[in-house]
Amino acid sequence: MTNRTFAIIKPDAVKNNNTGLIFDHILKAGFNVLSARLIKMTLAQAEGFYGVHAERPFFGELTEFMSSGQCMVLALEKDNAVPAWRETIGATNPEEAAEGTIRRLFATSIGENAVHGSDSDENAQKEIAFFFPDTELIANN
């Protein structure tokens, strides 16, 4: 499973009409999109997805933001997908994100930072399964 990761185009990016540009960035960076879906998370879904952050001071802000509007969830495939996608999106805080990364280009703040990326193979597998049944993951080669 080391060739898969999970991504979200977050509500700020969808609202700002950056979905297409970010999708294009994903393809140009060499990822295969195994599945993608536009959803609006419930607060309970956002709380479940970000459960590891439940004790963090920004948990309420984060889960309200993530359930505030449409977002796009994606299962991505590439060699070493988890680190490759983290490199493509850049640091959590857009001010610290490298030039040319998605967060540098599209994020507006540390909270509203345009995209999500899994932080480990184990979490990638869990996060993909949170939103996609195996039957919806379609190899594109």
Choices 27-35, 41-49, 110-118, 124-132; region in contact with ligand ADP by CB under 6 A: 110-118
Dist. CA 75–CA 137, nearest whole Å: 7
Dist. CA 122–CA 125, nearest whole Å: 5
Among 61, 64, 87, 95, binds ligand ADP (CB under 6 A): 61
Dist. CA 33–CA 40, nearest whole Å: 20
Cα distances (Å, whole numbers) of residue 96 to 69, 102, 130, 131, 141:
26, 12, 29, 29, 36
Among 113, 114, 128, 131, binds ligand ADP (CB under 6 A): 113
Dist. CA 15–CA 29, nearest whole Å: 23
Choices 41-49, 62-70, 83-91, 117-125; region in contact with Mg ion by CB under 5 A: 117-125
40 touches 71 (CB < 8 A): yes
Task: Tell me: does residue 58 bind ligand ADP (CB under 6 A).
Answer: yes
Nearer to Mg ion, 10 or 136 (CB): 10
Among 3, 15, 111, 125, binds ligand ADP (CB under 6 A): 111
Active site residue 116: yes
Q: Which residues bind ligand ADP (CB under 6 A)?
A: 53, 58, 61-62, 92, 110-111, 113, 116, 119
Active site residues: 116
